[in-house]
Amino acid sequence: MSIVKLQSLRKPLITLSGAAVIAAAAAVLLMVSATLGTVRAQSAGDLNDLEIAHVAYTADLIDIRYAHLALSKSKNPAVHAFAQTMIRDHSAVNDKALALLKMLNASAQDNFLSRQLNAQADQLVDVMSHLHGEEFDRRYAANELAYHKAVNGLVGGTFIPNIQNPEVKALFEQALVIFKVHEKHAAKMVASLKKVASLGR
C-alpha cells in the first residue's frame, strides 16, 4: 500500500509539543470530569477511519452474537430466518472490511465506542439468556429493531460524513443499504410477534 493511502486514513499529525499540551489538558479534563462523574473522553464524531472501522466490525460481531443466541434459544422459524440472515450479511460485510484493510495495509483501531458497545452487548446477552419462549423472541426482535436503528443512525449520520478514505466510505455506504433492509425486516418481526401475542390473549 502507498504511504499516501495510509496517511489518508489518519487525522492530521500534530507536533510533539502540541500533543504534550493536549495530553496535559486532557488529563486535567478527565480529573475534573471524574470528579463530576461524567467522564466522556471522546465522541463518535472524533473517531478516525480506522477507529470507525473497528466500531463497525464490533457492531457486526455483536449482531452475529445475538443471532447465535437466538438460534440456540428460539423455536420460532421467523426468528431463526432473521438470525440466519444477520449471520450471513454481517459476516459478509466484515469479510469485505477485513479484505479492504488488508489491501490498505492498515488495522482497525480499538476505541472507547467499541468497548462501550461490547460492554452493553455483554449485559444484554446475559439478560436475554435468562428469557424463554415468546418472551425471548419479543426481546430479541425489539433489540434487533432498536440496535439497527441506532447503528444505522450512527453510520449514516456520523460515520459516513466523517470517513476520509473513499474506499472505506464506499464500503460503509454499501453496508448501510443492507442494514436498512435489516431494520425494516426487524420492524416486521416485532409487529408479527406482537400480533401472535395479542391473538394468544
User: Residue ranges of the alpha helices (H) in 104-159?
Assistant: 112-129, 133-154
Tell me how far, at minimum, the Cβ of 155 lies from Fe ion, in Å.
12
Site for Fe ion in 91-150 (CB under 5 A): none
CB of 5 to Fe ion, least distance (A): 29
Confirm or reject binding of residue 52 to Fe ion (CB under 5 A): no
The answer to the question of residue 65 lying near Fe ion (CB under 5 A) is no
The single-letter code of the amino acid at 157 is: G
Q: Of these, 9, 50, 62, 86, which contacts Fe ion (CB under 5 A)?
A: 86
Contact 65, 123 (CB under 8 A): no
Which residue has the closest beta carbon to Fe ion?
A: 182
Whether the CA torsion 124, 90, 177, 77 is positive or negative: it is: negative
For Fe ion, the closer CB: 93 or 163? 93
Q: Is 73 in the site for Fe ion (CB under 5 A)?
A: no
Q: Are 159 and 52 in contact (CB under 8 A)?
A: yes
Q: Which residue, among 151, 81, 140, has the nearest Cα to 114 in the 3D structure?
A: 151
Residue 63 CB, nearest distance to Fe ion (Å)? 5
Residues binding Fe ion (CB under 5 A): 63, 86, 182
